[in-house]
């Protein structure tokens, strides 16, 4: 006989077997529910992503708002001669407005992205168009991308648009549109779809416009213009204004602008006074013309400083007296 104790084997009760089965069933049910929840989350995420993609496609395909009042533009620019400066007059050709033989030439370095340029355009340039129509003033526009509130790409884009409009004889219409849009859309102005729509509304050939916008020649022109106004003309800010009477430059009595010889301190009244005093004057020697125009500028500047409200009235009188 063996003295080893016996080993007793207990059989699981039916109730404990059923309990384990219930636990496994609940675990399986929970796992199934977890997988269903995960699938739901994935499905909702996929639907949301698809909705975002559809929204982006819809928004990108929707035409950008590009208001262009062609009738108002035609009225505003009626009677003005659109042109360009002569080859060799500057290192590159610039858009110009009016008769190149007018006694007064006005040059402006400006940026379509510059708020001060828009303000000057709205308050001064637009109000000198009658002098352009009268053959008294020849206006030259020199573009730059080195000032303004748009980002670098935006400044370049609007300048490209102006150049490409110029190539189709629509520079001055686009010039007005771009300054108008700066006030309406701000930094959102340089939107490719908006600019292209504007070109279409101005009657431009879109195939030629697209080719011009991607042409290296266009970018080279912009780079050359930037280099010229910055290096040769030493532009310090925009707008920078230069005035010439029969080829003789009117220089400010004191250098108050960051751009050498710029007449930024003279407002509309003073500029009109100088134009009116010298446009009708008989042809004189260069020295006499220079003396008269500089005296007119000094009188206008003095009047603007001492009595701003009377500047527009006193400047023409002082200029006329100096020219006699």
Report pLDDT digits (tens) over 228-273: 999 999 999 999 999 999 999 999 888 778 999 999 878 899 999 9
Q: Alpha helices, DSSP H only, in the chain?
A: 14-61, 70-76, 115-120, 129-133, 152-166, 171-185, 192-201, 206-213, 216-227, 268-279, 286-306, 311-323
Question: Of 258 and 51, which is predicted with more confidence?
Answer: 258
- Higher pLDDT: 299 or 92? It is 92
* Mean model confidence pLDDT for the chain: 84
Lowest mean pLDDT among 149-153, 174-178, 215-219, 256-260: 256-260
Q: Which helix (H) or strand (E) holds 91?
A: none
How confident is residue 36, by pLDDT bands cut at 50, 70 and 90? confident
Q: Is 250 helix (H, G, I), strand (E, B) or coil?
A: strand
pLDDT of residue 142: 98
pLDDT tens for each residue of 105-157:
999 999 999 999 999 999 999 999 999 999 999 999 999 999 999 999 999 99
CATH fit for domain 70-238, picks 3.40.30.10, 3.50.50.60, 3.40.50.10540, 3.10.20.880:
3.40.30.10
CA atoms within 13 A of residue 212's CA, in its CB half-sphere? 22
Residues 6+ apart with CB under 8 A from 228: 90, 91, 92, 142
Taking Cα atoms as reference points, which of 202, 289, 199 lies closest to residue 244?
A: 289
Q: What is the pLDDT of residue 51?
A: 73
- The mean pLDDT value for 210-217 works out to 98
């Amino acid at each position: 006989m063996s003295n080893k104790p016996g080993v007793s084997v207990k059989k699981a009760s039916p109730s404990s077997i059923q309990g384990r089965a219930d636990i496994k069933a609940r675990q399986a049910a929970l796992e199934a529910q977890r997988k269903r929840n995960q699938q739901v989350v994935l499905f909702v995420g996929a639907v949301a992503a698809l909705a975002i993609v559809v929204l982006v496609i819809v928004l990108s395909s929707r035409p950008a708002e590009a208001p262009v009042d062609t009738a108002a533009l035609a009225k505003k620019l009626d009677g003005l001669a659109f042109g360009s400066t002569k080859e060799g007059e500057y290192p590159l050709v610039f858009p110009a407005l009016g008769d190149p033989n007018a006694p007064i030439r006005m040059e402006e370095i400006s940026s379509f992205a510059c708020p001060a340029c828009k303000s000057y355009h709205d308050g001064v340039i637009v109000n000198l168009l009658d002098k352009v129509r009268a053959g008294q003033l020849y206006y030259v526009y020199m573009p730059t991308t080195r000032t303004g509130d748009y980002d670098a790409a935006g400044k370049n884009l609007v300048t490209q648009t102006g150049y490409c409009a110029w190539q189709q004889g629509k520079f001055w219409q686009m010039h007005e549109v771009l300054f108008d849009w700066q006030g309406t859309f701000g930094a959102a102005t340089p939107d490719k779809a908006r600019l292209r729509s504007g070109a279409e509304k101005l009657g431009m050939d879109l195939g030629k416009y697209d080719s011009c916008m991607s042409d290296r020649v266009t970018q080279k022109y912009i780079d050359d213009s930037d280099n010229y106004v910055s290096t040769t003309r030493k532009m310090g800010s925009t707008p920078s204004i230069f005035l010439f009477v029969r080829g003789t430059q009117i220089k400010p009595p004191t250098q108050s602008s960051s751009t050498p010889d710029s007449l930024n301190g003279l407002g509309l009244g003073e500029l009109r006074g100088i134009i009116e005093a010298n446009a009708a004057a008989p042809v004189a020697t260069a020295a006499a013309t220079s003396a008269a125009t500089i005296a007119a500028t000094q009188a206008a500047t003095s009047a603007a400083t001492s009595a701003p409200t009377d500047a527009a009235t006193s400047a023409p009188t002082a200029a006329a007296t100096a020219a006699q």
